[in-house]
């Protein structure tokens, strides 16, 4: 397993995501990223419980329409150290491997991931419809931005050392959060 020190920590190397208000309660966060792998490889990184902890969270359930799909976040801080959260319950709304994964989650709202093959890999469109206070939108944008950067690294075989995430990546989160803040009208 690669150490966090080997990760590219330049969070500005990828375009910023966007936020659009749906109504008084909901906001849609959208990211478009390109990954230099086939959709099937990216699909496995999104759904395989052996691979998801490399960049995102533990996953419990199956990527099949109607199945449960629970998440356990790994980068929560407690007394200066990374800890795991409780399971956050979810359900697969739609799954069409390796093109579409859409699920609801009791904490993160609705997440939809569309994978489109390109000549050089896969374009991912990641959307998260979430009900958070306005002040939390920038935090959510920065959080997903960092996780999608971790996904790039995981595709190169690197795995986040979650016990040291706060020391290694919180400054990166702060950097990209500042970019989102500056870009907000």
pLDDT of the chain, 185 residues: tens digit per residue:
456 668 899 999 999 999 999 998 999 999 999 999 999 999 999 999 999 999 999 999 999 999 999 998 887 655 554 455 688 899 999 999 999 999 999 888 999 999 999 999 999 999 999 998 888 999 999 999 999 999 999 999 999 998 888 889 999 999 999 999 998 86
Q: Are 108 and 88 in contact (CB under 8 A)?
A: yes
Q: Which helix (H) or strand (E) holds 152?
A: helix 134-154
**Residue with token string 């190169």:** 156
pLDDT at 143: 94
Q: What is the pLDDT of residue 77?
A: 58
Alpha-carbon distance 67 to 91, whole Å? 6
Question: What is the spatial distance between Cα 60 and Cα 66, in angstroms, rounded to a whole number?
Answer: 14
Dihedral (CA of 11, 35, 140, 159) sign: negative
| Distance in angstroms (rounded) separating the CA atoms of residues 180 and 175 | 9
Instruction: Look at residues 120, 105, 110, 95 and name the one whose alpha carbon lies nearest to residue 43.
Output: 95
Rg of the chain in Å (alpha carbons) = 16
Please report the pLDDT score of residue 135 as a whole number. 83
* Predicted local distance difference test score (pLDDT) of residue 58: 93
pLDDT at 3: 60
The model's pTM? 0.91
Other Cβ atoms closer than 10 A to 87: 16
| Predicted pLDDT at 123 | 98
């Amino acid at each position: 397993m690669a150490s966090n020190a080997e990760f590219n920590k330049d969070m500005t190397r990828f375009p910023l995501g966007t936020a659009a208000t749906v109504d008084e309660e909901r906001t849609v966060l959208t990211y478009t990223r390109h990954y230099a792998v086939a959709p099937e490889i990216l699909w496995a990184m999104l759904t395989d419980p052996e691979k998801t902890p490399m960049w995102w969270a533990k996953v419990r359930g199956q990527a099949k329409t109607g199945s449960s799909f629970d998440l356990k976040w790994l980068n929560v801080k407690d007394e200066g150290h990374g800890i795991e959260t409780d399971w956050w319950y979810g359900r697969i709304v739609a799954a069409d491997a390796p093109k579409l994964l859409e699920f609801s989650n009791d904490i993160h709202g609705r997440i939809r991931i569309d994978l489109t093959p390109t000549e050089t890999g896969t374009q991912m469109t990641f959307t998260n419809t979430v009900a958070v206070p306005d002040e939390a939108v920038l935090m959510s944008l920065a959080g997903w931005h960092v996780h999608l950067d971790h996904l790039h690294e995981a595709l190169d075989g690197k795995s986040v050392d979650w016990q040291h995430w706060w020391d290694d990546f919180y400054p990166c989160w702060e950097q990209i959060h500042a970019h989102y803040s500056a870009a907000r009208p």
